[in-house]
Amino acid sequence: MKLLLILPILIPLATAAVCLLFWRQRAVQRLISTLGSAAHLAAALVLLWTVRQDGIFATQLGNWPAPFGITLVADLFSAIMTVLGALMGFAVGVYSLGSMDRDRESFGYYSFFHFLLMGVSGVFLTGDLFNLYVWFEVMLMASFVLLALGGEKPQLEGAIKYVALNLISSALFLTALGILYGMAGTLNMADLSRQISTEIHTGVVSTLAMLFLVAFGIKSALFPLFFWLPASYHTPPVSVSAIFAGLLTKVGVYTLIRVFSLLFRQDVAYTHTLILVIAGLTMVTGVLGAMAQNEFRRILSFHIISQVGYMVMGLGLFTPLALAGSIFYIMHHIIVKTNLFLVSGVARRLQGSYQLDQLGGLSQSAPGLTILFMISAFSLAGMPPLSGFWAKLILVKASLDITGYLIAATALGVGLLTLFSMVKIWAAAFWGEPPPAAEAARAKLTPTKKLALYLPMIMLGLLTVTIGLMSQPFFELATSAAGQLLNPADYIQAVLKGIK
C-alpha cells in the first residue's frame, strides 16, 4: 500500500538518474526511458485500481504522523491525474524516440523528461502544501531546461517569458503559504481544511484564496494571466510542446480544484462565482486568440487556454455534476490535446513547416494521419460521439441545472468557434494541393521511426474513441472522484486518522 504511493514518484526519479549515468549513450538512454515510462504507467494504473477498490489512502513519510510529517495521499482525483500523467509520459516518451534529434538526446533530454514526470506525480500525490510547492519547483525546473534545451533563438526568447512569469507565480504561492502558516500553524492540507472551516476569519481566508487563485491562475493560464503560454509553447521541439500542453496547465487546474474544494469553501458565493466569471472570459479570449493565428501549434496553444476555461468552469459551478464534468473534461482534454500536438509534429516532418499556408494535401499523402487528426480535432470541438461531446454535455447540463444560462451559452458558443479553428486547420493542411515547396522538404520516414511516431498517436486516438463510445465507466469514475472532493471529511479522516 505504502509503496504504491511512492512508486509513481520513485520510478521517474530512478529512470532519470540512470539516464544521467549513461550520458551521451543515446541507445541506452532510449531503452531505459521507454522501460521507465512503461513501469511508471503500470504503477499508476495499480494505484488507481487500489484507490477505486479501497478508497482514499495515505502514507506518512518517515513515519512522522500527520500533521507533523509529510503526507502522501491518493484519492480518486489524484489517482486519475497520476494515471493521465504517466500515460502522457509513456505516449510522448515513445514518440520522442522517433522525433527527438540526436543532439538533444545526447544532452539529457530523457533525464529531464522524467524529472518533469516526477514533479507532476509529486504534485498530484502530496498532501502537504509546502511539499506541493517543492514539487512545483521540481516540475518547473525540469520544464525550464526542456524548453531551453537546444538553445535556438526563439526557444530562448520563449523561455525568458515562461521562466519569468512562472517564477512570479511561485513567489505569490510562497507568499500565500507563509501567511497561511502564520495563521493556522500547519501546512498539512487535511489539517488546514479542518482548521479553516472552524477557526479562522473569513476575511483573511478570502484574501489568501485570491493569492492562491492568482498564483495557480498563472500556472493554469487563466484570463488574464495566460500570456506566457502562447509566447512559449510553440518554440521547443514538438514532443516537448506536447508534454507541456498535455500536463503543465492541467497541473495548475488540479491544484486549483484541490485548493478550492478542500480549503477555501466557506465563501463559495464569492470565490467560486469569481472563478466562474474568469472561466467564461478564459474560454472566450482563448478561442478568439486562436482564430487570429495561422500556425499549427499557435492555434493549438490558444485552444489550451480556452479549454482550461471549461475545466475551471466546473469548479466555478461547484455542484457534484459540474465537478464530475471538470474531471471528465480533464481526462478527455489531456489525451486529445497531446495527440493534436503529436499530429502537428508529424505534419511538420512530412511537409517541413508548421505554417498553415505551407501545408496542404495531407489527406492524400498521409491518410492515417488525417484520420488521427480528425478524431482528435472533432473531439476537441465537441462533436458527438467523441469524448469532447460528453465532456461539454456534462458541463452544460450542470450549468443549466442551476440556471447558469449565460455560462452555458458561452460554453456552447466557444465550442462552435473551436470547430471553426479545427476546420481552418483541416482545410489548409489536410485538404487542397500540397504546396510546391513541400515536395522538396518532404522527408521519408523509416519504418522504425514511423512506428515510434504513429504508435502513441494511434493509442491516444483509440482512447479518445473509447471514452466517446463507452463513456459510462469514465463518467462514473469522474462522479465518484467529484463526490470525494465535495466530502472532505473522508480525505481528512484518511490523512489524520482521527488525530485531534
Partner 1 sequence: MEVLTAIVVGGLFGAGIYLLLSRSPARLIIGLVLLSNAINLLIFVAAGLVRGKPPLIPTGALRAVEATADPLPQALILTAIVISFGVLAFALVLFSRTFKSTAATSLDEMKTTDT
Binding residues (CB under 8 A) for partner 1: these are 130, 133-134, 137, 140-141, 144-145, 148, 151, 153-154, 156-161, 163-164, 167-168, 170-171, 174-175, 177-179, 181-183, 185, 230-232, 234-235, 289, 292-293, 298, 302
Contacts of 459 (CB under 8 A, 6+ apart): 91
**Considering the complex, what minimum distance in angstroms separates the CB of residue 487 from partner 1?**
29
Nearest to 214 by CA among 251, 158, 175: 175
The answer to whether the beta carbons of residues 362 and 347 sit under 8 Å apart is yes
**Considering the complex, what minimum distance in angstroms separates the CB of residue 172 from partner 1?**
9
Residue 108 or 158: the one with the smaller Cβ distance to partner 1 is: 158
Residue 134 or 486: the one with the smaller Cβ distance to partner 1 is: 134
**Considering the complex, what minimum distance in angstroms separates the CB of residue 280 from partner 1?**
21
**Considering the complex, what minimum distance in angstroms separates the CB of residue 144 from partner 1?**
6
Q: How far apart are CA 390 and CA 409, in angstroms?
A: 16
Residue 137 or 490: the one with the smaller Cβ distance to partner 1 is: 137
Q: How many helices (H) and strands (E) does the chain have?
A: 23, 2
Measured over all CA atoms, what is the biggest interatomic distance in the chain, rounded to whole angstroms? 73
Residue 114 or 234: the one with the smaller Cβ distance to partner 1 is: 234
Q: How far apart are CA 211 and CA 195, in angstroms?
A: 19
Residue 43 or 148: the one with the smaller Cβ distance to partner 1 is: 148
**Considering the complex, what minimum distance in angstroms separates the CB of residue 148 from partner 1?**
6
Residue 145 or 335: the one with the smaller Cβ distance to partner 1 is: 145
Does residue 454 come out as left (phi exceeding 0), alpha (psi in the -120 to 50 range) or beta? alpha
Residue 137 or 267: the one with the smaller Cβ distance to partner 1 is: 137
Q: Give the helix/strand (H/E) hosting 72.
A: strand 71-74
**Considering the complex, what minimum distance in angstroms separates the CB of residue 19 from partner 1?**
20
**Considering the complex, what minimum distance in angstroms separates the CB of residue 128 from partner 1?**
11
**Considering the complex, what minimum distance in angstroms separates the CB of residue 215 from partner 1?**
12
The answer to whether the beta carbons of residues 437 and 361 sit under 8 Å apart is no
Residue 283 or 398: the one with the smaller Cβ distance to partner 1 is: 283
Residue 227 or 270: the one with the smaller Cβ distance to partner 1 is: 227
The 3-state DSSP class for residue 355 equals strand
The answer to whether the beta carbons of residues 214 and 255 sit under 8 Å apart is no
Q: How far apart are CA 397 and CA 405, in angstroms?
A: 10
**Considering the complex, what minimum distance in angstroms separates the CB of residue 185 from partner 1?**
8
| DSSP state for residue 57 in the 8-state scheme | E
Q: How far apart are CA 374 and CA 379, in angstroms?
A: 8
* All three cell numbers of 312: 475551471
Query: Looking up cell 479522516, which residue turns up?
Result: 493
* All three cell numbers of 289: 486568440
* All three cell numbers of 89: 509520459
The answer to whether the beta carbons of residues 441 and 353 sit under 8 Å apart is yes
